[in-house]
Amino acid sequence: MSASPLIEQLIQALKCLPGVGAKSAQRMAFNLLERNRDGALHLSRVLHDAMEHIRNCERCRTFTESTICHICDDPRRAESAQICIVESPQDVIAIEQTLQFKGRYFVLMGHLSPIDGIGPSELRLDVLQRRLEDEKIDEVILATNPTVEGEATAHYISQMCEKQGIAATRIAHGVPVGGELEYIDGNTLTHAFTGRRKF
């Protein structure tokens, strides 16, 4: 060890950030010490506040510092009577950026994975069940990831919807816009063919 103990601690602590190894952590530590102590102090405060105060929204389970997130709290969002099921809060951000969806969300914070001990109760599907019973919902849009676990999760939730007599739809899988057929995997191409629509 050739840096001071506190600098070593800082370098070690920065390695908790995803994608940051020993070399990047060292660069970050010295960069902050040399050039941006105010920014680092601000980051320290915000990090603390965020970790202490951000919990899951009681209605849709996304991250928020309030009891109910700002999307669930928006009365205009109830009008569409649609609810979109996603795996993570980042998916909500991605969908919100398209400006296409005006309904509410339910964030699973994962997907069904029995091998990891993640079942319906870990995903709080009981909360979703209550929403399906209590709220006016016409359509459940299943926007879980197109992976084996995501598909299984979508299938499980579609059965919950069926019992309640609510229509469940799955987002389309196919060739990404701007993609070239040549480079698309066979599985996606099969989806693109079976899911073809009238032109």
Tokens 């339910």 map to which residue?
A: 106
Does 101 contact its own copies by CB under 8 A?
no
Contact 106, 131 (CB under 8 A): yes
Does 102 contact its own copies by CB under 8 A?
no
Contact 113, 145 (CB under 8 A): no
Does 128 contact its own copies by CB under 8 A?
no
Does 142 contact its own copies by CB under 8 A?
no
Residue 140 has which token pair? 């459940």
Q: Smallest gap, in angstroms, from Cβ of residue 45 to its own copies? A: 8
**Which of 22, 58, 67, 70 forms a contact with its own copies (CB under 8 A)?**
70
Residues 6+ apart with CB under 8 A from 134: none
**Minimum CB distance to its own copies smaller for 4 or for 194:** 4
Q: Rounded CA gap, 109 and 91, in Å? A: 10
Does 46 contact its own copies by CB under 8 A?
yes
Q: Smallest gap, in angstroms, from Cβ of residue 42 to its own copies? A: 6
Does 3 contact its own copies by CB under 8 A?
yes
Q: Smallest gap, in angstroms, from Cβ of residue 199 to its own copies? A: 33
> Residue 167 is inside which H or E element, if any?
strand 167-170
Tokens 């701007």 map to which residue?
A: 178
CA 195 to chain centre: 25
Does 167 contact its own copies by CB under 8 A?
no
Does 34 contact its own copies by CB under 8 A?
yes
**Minimum CB distance to its own copies smaller for 48 or for 130:** 48
Q: Smallest gap, in angstroms, from Cβ of residue 92 to its own copies? A: 7
Does 49 contact its own copies by CB under 8 A?
yes
Does 75 contact its own copies by CB under 8 A?
no
Contact 128, 176 (CB under 8 A): no
Sheet holding 104-107, edge to edge: 104-107, 82-86, 139-142, 167-170
DSSP state of 113: B
Contact positions vs its own copies (CB under 8 A): 2-7, 9-10, 13-14, 16-19, 24, 26-34, 36-37, 39-54, 63-66, 69-71, 88-90, 92-93, 96-97, 109
